[in-house]
A = this chain, B = another copy of it.
Amino acid sequence: MKVRRSNRLIDMTKYLLDRPHTLIPLTFFVDRYESAKSSISEDLGILKQTFKERGIGIVDTIPGAAGGTRFLPSIPATEAQAFVNDLKDALNDDSRYLAGGYIYMSDVLSYPDTLRTIGRIMATKYTDQKIDAVLTVATKGIPIAQSIASNLNVPFVVAQHDSKITDGSTISVNYVSGSNNNVKKMVLSKRSLRDNSRVLIVDDYLKGGGTVNGLATLAKEFNCEVAGISVLAEENYDRKEFADQQYVSLVKVDIAKHITVSDGNFLKTVFNQ
């Protein structure tokens, strides 16, 4: 039965939102709604315009027989800035100070809506890049990796500090923690990452850079290329071994018995603000 435009637009919105970065042929929607190609094209035009106006993302149309429609999640600069401001306000709180010069941020990573927005902001940077997988290390990087992976619609793989029996065979690397010079180990299941992937490295917090370097070494062991590095927060810290790495961060944290949180380099790097 032919489906009316109102119903089509609602269902198409849901369908596209669930499948970011996926090319959907026009004929798929023609069949799904038993509607003419011209009607579906008009629908997509309305979707494209509304997604743009409302800052939901880009609805990209690729013409030709092999063409179709893709939804690329992104966020407008103003909305990203507003989110980063809220995040700074939430983190700029001395009760978050932990002895030894650490900051408590786990609560931020427990809210699904916060994570959804972090994922959408980070994915904006990689809209037109080929990313095959997101790579992070347990534990606190996982929620962020999952949100970014969800917006890019690629798998995310999780390295661990100890291998578990349920990982099967693993590859491990040793790395030097940048902030305290300890040698640490990181393992990744051999089956979890495909050779020759372009991986996006994700973590919650960048201090000395050792963890990110470890993840990059691990990626190399899988013959993978590092396509980018995204962290939620970076600490204002002298990263000697990390100077040549390109990364983006949403916020920058200064810890000196009290906490000061300012913009990371993301907004400047991605939106030139």
Contacts and interface: CB of A to CB of B under 8 A. Distances in A.
Interface of A: 5-7, 9-11, 13-14, 17-19, 46-47, 49-51, 53-54, 56, 98, 100, 102-107, 110-113, 115-116, 138-140, 142-143, 146, 149-150, 153-158, 160, 164-168, 189, 191-192, 205
Given A9-B9, A47-B10, A142-B142, A192 B112 contact: no
A98 B7 contact: no
A217 B32 CA distance: 49
A17 B19 contact: no
B142 A139 contact: yes
A264 to B, nearest CB: 18
A110 B142 contact: no
Given A104-B168, A104-B191, A139 B158 contact: yes
A184 B97 CA distance: 29
A115 B7 contact: no
User: What 8 pairs across the A-B complex have the smallest Cβ distances?
Assistant: A112-B150, A110-B155, A13-B13, A10-B50, A138-B139, A7-B50, A142-B142, A6-B46
B166 A6 contact: no
B165 A102 contact: yes
B9 A116 contact: no
A103 B166 contact: yes
Contacts of A142: 139, 142-143, 146
Contacts of A17: 14, 17
B146 A115 contact: yes
Contacts of A104: 166-168, 189, 191
A160 B161 CA distance: 13
A112 B146 contact: yes
B106 A50 contact: no
Given A14-B54, A107-B191, 15 more contacts: A6-B6, A6-B9, A9-B13, A11-B54, A19-B113, A104-B168, A104-B191, A110-B156, A112-B155, A139-B158, A140-B166, A142-B143, A142-B146, A146-B146, A166-B205
Contacts of A102: 165-166
A33 to B, nearest CB: 11
